[in-house]
Amino acid sequence: MNIMGFDRRDMLMLSNLFRMALTDRYLGSALGTVWAFLSPLMLLGIFCFVFTFVFPNRMAGATSTLTFVIWLFSGYGPWLSISEGLSNGTASVVGSAGIVKNIAFKSELLPVVGALLGLVPLAVSFVLIALLQLVNGTLPQPAMLILPLVVLLQLVFVAGLGMFLGALNVFVRDTALILPNLLTILLFASPIFYALTAYPAFAQSVLVFNPFYVIAECYRDPILNGRLPPLWMLAYLTICASLSLTGGLLWFRRLKNFFDTRL
């Protein structure tokens, strides 16, 4: 079976590349896989401290500190995943120059591997949320069965953006340097730390279509409220993911023939 130019052999190659990247990323360090949990935990801890002790009046979407922490994790965890996936995807082609130049395979798989690596902090966030909900006495709700679909749509969305940025980074190396600053701007420009109602009315009508906000809400509704995300959000996220993947693939395949001259 062939889907968008990928067949079964490509899926096997994707699996092997992902295992290699995961091993190099975590098992190659002194603390190994501990970093997979420690890094997102430290970031989440910092923001929890800031918004519960420094700015306690900013506890949006919550009636208690514990509820706010769960609210924060359920939005910031997906953002960490997106940020990690985009950063890895952007650097994936340049960072694997030796493989790209010496092994015959579909190099489009490299940004997908980057997006898959972003699922590690998401999994850590889910574990922390489950533990906090257990402490809070909240049981898993049937609506949470929609979460695998949300994860899949997020993965497709990030993989498409990663293909675009990964190919661009081959020709404009500043892309990987600019991205962290751009992601920081996007983070604070998106309703991740604050409820949408905290923004001016004119901004709300625009921010409601922010894909990063939509992704966060698609996680928060099932986790916090025990209900399915609004149908329009799922449809909108599906459209964004489809356009991202299609556009990213077309862009990547258009430029990949020139990679050898720039790597």
Domain map (residue ranges) of the chain: 8-261
pLDDT at residue 52, as a whole number:
65
H/E element holding 66? helix 65-95
pLDDT over 60 at 83, yes or no: yes
Average pLDDT value for residue range 97-102: 84
Output the CA torsion sign for 220, 132, 118, 55: positive
CB hemisphere CA count around 236 (13 angstroms): 15
User: Residue 115's closest CA among 74, 170, 70, 156?
Assistant: 156
The residue assigned the tokens 């079976």 is 1
Interior CA angle at 152 toward 22 and 223, to 5°?
100
* DSSP characters over 118-175: THHHHHHHHHHHHHHHHHHTPPP-GGGGGHHHHHHHHHHHHHHHHHHHHHHHHH-THH
The model carries a pTM of 0.89
Rounded to whole angstroms, how far apart are CA atoms 103 and 138?
A: 50
pLDDT, tens digit, for every residue of 187-245? Answer: 888 888 778 887 888 888 889 999 999 999 999 999 988 899 999 999 999 999 999 99
pLDDT at residue 111, as a whole number:
95
C-alpha torsion 102→106→108→110, nearest 10: -50
CB atoms < 10 A from the CB of 98, how many? 9
pLDDT, tens digit, for every residue of 53-73? Answer: 666 555 555 566 778 888 888
pLDDT over 90 at 90, yes or no: yes
